[in-house]
């Protein structure tokens, strides 16, 4: 009787654990491939990344020595890179697009898009880094915290760059 219970337990655990282990071992191949492509892009552009973050299909990296951002995102099967020279940026603005929706008879304010706008010195062209878009992203995952963290990190980098420019 005990051997039967042990056998049943082993089969049930195997049915749960084996697929999970296979997913962990082989399911993250695309993620590793994308990470490799981002590292190659950084190396190709002589970037030494010291801050990075990955969420949804987006990857944001900062080289604080070269004063550059690398924003990468997947569009379908393709990985698109955007290089941003922070030497050309003077200020940053958080852009929030919200709409009011009636849910269960009550009005709720919902986030539709969340981005950082990097405004250039000449105010000619601004660069927008999209952190969340409800038409592309199924759920929110701390995007407000993430956008504020990166805004603070980039502003700190801009202040350091301004001090170095004045000292030189």
CATH assignment of 51-167, given 1.20.1630, 3.30.110, 1.10.3470, 2.30.29? 2.30.29
Nearest Cα residue to 110 out of 143, 78, 71, 87: 143
What is the per-residue pLDDT for 161? 77
What is the per-residue pLDDT for 50? 92
The answer to whether 100 and 112 have CB atoms below 8 angstroms apart is: no
Q: What is the CA radius of gyration of the chain?
A: 22
CA distance 98 to 62: 28
Phi, psi angle pair for 105, to nearest 5°: 80, 0
Using H for helix, E for strand and C for coil, what is the string for the chain?
CHHHHHHHHHHHHHHHHHHHHHHHHHCCHHHHHHHHHHHHHHHHCCCCCCEEEEECCEEEEEECCCCEEEEEEEECCEEEEEEEEHHHEEEEEEEEEEEEEEECCEEEEEEEEEEEEEEECCCCCEEEEEEEECCCCCCCCCHHHHHHHHHHHHHHHHHHHHHHHHHC
Per-residue pLDDT of the chain (168 residues; tens, 9 = 90+): 677 778 777 787 777 776 766 665 555 567 788 888 889 999 999 999 999 999 888 999 999 999 999 999 988 888 999 999 999 998 899 999 888 878 788 888 888 899 999 998 776 778 999 999 888 877 777 888 999 999 999 999 998 877 766 665
Question: pLDDT tens digit string along 11-46?
Answer: 877 777 767 666 655 555 677 888 888 899 999 999
What is the per-residue pLDDT for 108? 81
pTM over 0.85: no
């Amino acid at each position: 009787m005990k051997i039967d219970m042990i056998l049943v337990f082993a089969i049930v655990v195997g049915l749960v654990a084996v697929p999970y282990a296979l997913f962990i071992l082989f399911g993250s191949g695309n993620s590793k491939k994308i990470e490799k492509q981002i590292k190659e892009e950084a190396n190709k552009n002589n970037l030494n990344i010291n801050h990075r973050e990955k969420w949804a299909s987006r990857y944001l990296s900062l080289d604080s020595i070269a004063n550059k951002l690398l924003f990468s995102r997947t569009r379908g099967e393709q990985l698109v890179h955007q290089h941003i020279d922070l030497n050309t940026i003077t200020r940053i603005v958080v852009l929030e697009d919200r709409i009011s929706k009636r849910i269960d008879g009550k009005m709720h304010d919902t986030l539709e898009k969340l981005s950082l706008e990097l405004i250039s010195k000449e105010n000619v062209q601004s660069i927008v880094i999209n952190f969340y878009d409800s038409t592309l992203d199924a759920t929110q995952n701390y995007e407000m915290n993430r956008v504020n963290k990166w805004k603070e990190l980039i502003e700190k980098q801009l202040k350091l760059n301004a001090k170095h420019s004045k000292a030189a």
